[in-house]
Structure 1
Amino acid sequence: MSLSLRRAFMMTISAVVLLTTALSSASAAAPASYRIVVLGDSVSAGYEPIEEIKNGTTAPYGYADRLLEQSLFRTSSALTNYAILGLTTPGLANLLQGAANGQPLQASDLQDFSSFDPRVVVMADGVAKRTRELAADLAQADLVVLTIGGNDFSSLIKMAADSSTESARQIIQDSFEIRMNDYTKDLDKMATRLHELAPNARIVLADQYLPLFKGHELYPLLLDKVKVLSQALDLFAEEMTKRGIPLKIAHVSGKFAGNESAYTYFNLWDKWDIHPKQPGYEAIAQAFADKIWSDGYRKPDPRAEGVELSVVINGKEPPSKPVLIKGTTFLALRDVSNAVGAELKWNQAAKSATFKKNGKEVVVTIGSNTVYVDGVARQIPTPAYFEQDGKNVKTYVPLAVVSDSLDYQVVFRKSIMTVFINS
């Protein structure tokens, strides 16, 4: 087998300082009403083989980060990520068993990580020690998403990589179904334990995409096997549902088929790394969103020229765009009140606006750095101002008024330059 073919089969995990999912928020005053837990391997971790992430100067932006944003389009949300590079399905089952036992573990308790970069072992140790925290998060979870299985097939891939092309073809024909059956048996154990730990959560598992590019001599054979695996996982999900385990399959394979060159790093530095690029991670997030939300994958509306960010309030973008003044984001308070169904009254003499919702009253005065929340004075960094909008006066307040005074969840996602406000 050629060197290129050997590399095409390698599902390598490069040296990386793993940064778990980074949540950038302006505030999180209100408790999240929808909780997501992410489990699995390097794809769930959002890993990319690029220097910025290796050096720790850039946080990953994977499918899980995008799913958090999708959830924020709909309700107040929080996400925790327990993914581990190189994790197998038995390794995940061991992690969940540790969570069920309330027992902190080590990386070696999950699986053999001796062939991995030492930094991966450190990261695996860090997750393994958090089994009690994992159990608590799963007990409150509304949704669990995971990618797992790529590493389960690695020994089969290695056998094929060490053989000639025809031998590789025969190995795949003879061994794939056996490996697939072992994988689904391991999934059964893992999913059963996961449901016990997260009894109120929907579980969404991704199928496997093809680790080759279209046009490769083995592409048709492996594409067929990937389809067989996807069908087997659909049957597995049906069986889980019959047993009362709400599990669905996100069909990632269909989105990657024919797009492997655009969606993965298989030809980066001639290393054939099959981790997703950004378009690949977005495709994975879309596949998950299709299974989780009836209206699918959402994006902020196109912004007008000069508008630097978007604001989404309870799932809708208000008619008045946010205004940036000297680094401070201002929102039209009337847009906030309309979106959340609050009462807003304007006092022309006092040049003040009174916002009332759920027994809370906030009084904002134009030009003043003081707002009154239920009669108690609070300082804000920059004062409010007003604009005449037809017959209406719109009071523009700094974002801090909404986040600090109204106790709404306010999350800023720099990745899409969007502020999510959920009441």
Structure 2
Amino acid sequence: MYSKFRNMLKMTALGAASAALLVQAGSAFAAPASAGSAASYDIVVLGDSIAAGYQAGFTEQSVPYGFAEHVFEQALFQGLRAEYVNYGVLGLRTEGLANWLEAAIAGEKVTEADVQAGLSDKDPRAKQMLAEMTDTLAGDIRDAETVLISIGGNDFLGFVNELGLTTNVDALSAGDKTALQDKLDALINNYTTQLDDILGMIGELQPKAEVVIANQYLPLPVLKLPNGETTYPKVAKSAALFLKDGQSNLNARLGEVVKAHGNKGLSIKISDAAAVIEKSILTLTSISDGDIHPKAAGYAALGKAYSEQLWGEYKTVLPRAAGVPISVVVNGEEIVSKYAPVIQKGRTYLAVRDITDAMGAELKWDAATATATVSLDGRTVDITVGAATIRVNGETVPLNAEPAYLQQFPGEKKTYLPLAALSEGLGFQVEYRHEQKIAFINK
């Protein structure tokens, strides 16, 4: 599934990895060894623009770093050999996602009109995604350990725009108020009906998956006045209170649907996006610029909320000392050493004993040939200082990296090895996360 994700990333820069990530995470072998691959922890992301990681001002060339990427990193922090694929589409509503899932399960080819008319007006990737990814959607969910969902905001945007944030709801006639409430109730009913179908299909495809779905936040700036009164800048208070009441009803109904599917055996939890985002709406979203989407800090907060539902924690590395370019985490544990990692031409190098101890590997050193022999679980890698090749299970493999070398420290020298070459040779997953400057090595 990982290669499929990479192909999708090449298709659209809204899901593309940065050049630096690809350079440092790419194989250190000129020709890969025939390593077996361990079972992966697969994450599938479904939903709308928030699922896709969209931020105000993004173009097709933009690179997202949304909640999905944060959860992926947290899976790596858990020592999991994680992979993920993102099916987030800008402008997607619950009925659109339900239509897409239904077609994917039936094995049908779909057009934009089959899923949700006008999607390409919101997301320039939509037609190509629907054409190329419908075939993989059901299979990816069947393979998933975790399914992350963010959907529903687009169901209500039209209603909010039609209402108008400056409308004095209290001044409306009784008939108009009733009609307004009826319309909102109908939207909420449709949302819960479609969501019930969506969760039912996910449960049928992968009943053992851990599912986490976000509730709906309301991006209204709020000010607390000295007298304790609450005010909503540029929004009529009556309209704000009407929408807040609707949001409470909506999220309560979400809770009912989630509970019903939990009772059917689906492992499902709610990520409280409302609590997370609304505590600092101006800092965490672009609403002051007229855009409801999270900023980078908002996506980090959402990623933390999703991750805490999955693992009960959100892990970080220790602060790096000045001049230390990268942190290294092996099987979920950060390597803490006085021998700092080094970057050489886009590759990470580490003192051999630090990395082998972290892996639990056996290290033998041949001083005569300046060769480190590292063994673990029936695999052996021989790396010689200064050599342009290494040996993996007896097979000579060229390096796409600078050779191992001796790094001088006060009073001693340490053998520094190319981290990716050793790790991949022993069958580990190597992931470099450019945004956090962390190399994850997982068995």
TM-score grouping bracket, smaller chain normalisation: 0.7 to 0.9
Who is 1:375 aligned against? 394
Give the superposition deviation at 1:396: 1.2
CA deviations 1:284-322 (Å, max 9, x no partner) are: 11111111112x222222111001111111111112331
Which amino acid letter does the alignment assign opposite residue 76 of structure 1? R
Counterpart CA distance in 2 for 1:235 and 1:265 is: 30
CA deviations 1:65-89 (Å, max 9, x no partner) are: 1111111112111110111111111
Contact residue 219 and residue 278 of structure 2 kept, 8 A = no
Counterpart CA distance in 1 for 2:55 and 2:326 is: 26
TM-score normalized with structure 2 length: 0.83
Residue 263 (structure 1) aligned with residue 284 (structure 2): yes
Residue 67 (structure 1) aligned with residue 74 (structure 2): no
Counterpart CA distance in 2 for 1:382 and 1:46 is: 36
> Bigger CA drift: 375-384 or 168-177?
168-177
Relative to 1, partners in 2 of residues 1:18 and 1:228: Cα closer, same or farther, differing over 3 Å? farther
Who is 2:441 aligned against? 421
Aligned equivalent of 1:128, options 127, 130, 134: 130
Counterpart CA distance in 2 for 1:368 and 1:284 is: 46
Give the superposition deviation at 1:282: 1.1
Relative to 1, partners in 2 of residues 1:259 and 1:331: Cα closer, same or farther, differing over 3 Å? same
Any residues of structure 2 matched to 1:30-41 within 5 Å, and which?
A: 30=37, 33-41=40-48
Who is 1:345 aligned against? 364
Give the superposition deviation at 1:174: 4.9
Relative to 1, partners in 2 of residues 1:355 and 1:392: Cα closer, same or farther, differing over 3 Å? farther
Residue 185 (structure 1) aligned with residue 193 (structure 2): yes
Relative to 1, partners in 2 of residues 1:370 and 1:168: Cα closer, same or farther, differing over 3 Å? farther
Who is 2:415 aligned against? 395
Which amino acid letter does the alignment assign opposite residue 76 of structure 2? L
Give the superposition deviation at 1:179: 2.6
Which amino acid letter does the alignment assign opposite residue 165 of structure 1? N
CA deviations 1:167-218 (Å, max 9, x no partner) are: 6984665544443232111110111012222333111110000121113124
For the aligned residue pairs, the C-alpha RMSD in angstroms reads: 2.6
Which amino acid letter does the alignment assign opposite residue 83 of structure 1? G
The size of the alignment, in residue pairs, is 397
Contact residue 192 and residue 245 of structure 1 kept, 8 A = no
Which amino acid letter does the alignment assign opposite residue 137 of structure 2? L
Which amino acid letter does the alignment assign opposite residue 309 of structure 2? K
TM-score normalized with structure 1 length: 0.86
Counterpart CA distance in 1 for 2:364 and 2:428 is: 20
Relative to 1, partners in 2 of residues 1:35 and 1:168: Cα closer, same or farther, differing over 3 Å? farther
Identity within the alignment, %: 37
Counterpart CA distance in 2 for 1:398 and 1:311 is: 13
Who is 1:242 aligned against? 263
Any residues of structure 2 matched to 1:18-417 within 5 Å, and which?
A: 19-23=13-17, 24-25=21-22, 26-27=25-26, 30=37, 33-50=40-57, 53-54=58-59, 56=61, 58-74=62-78, 75-113=80-118, 117=121, 120=123, 122-129=124-131, 130-161=133-164, 164-166=167-169, 170=177, 173-214=181-222, 215-216=231-232, 217=237, 218-268=239-289, 272-294=290-312, 296-320=313-337, 321-380=340-399, 381-386=401-406, 394-417=414-437
Relative to 1, partners in 2 of residues 1:374 and 1:64: Cα closer, same or farther, differing over 3 Å? same
Give the superposition deviation at 1:99: 0.8
Runs (5+) with no aligned partner, structure 2 = 1-10, 28-34, 223-230
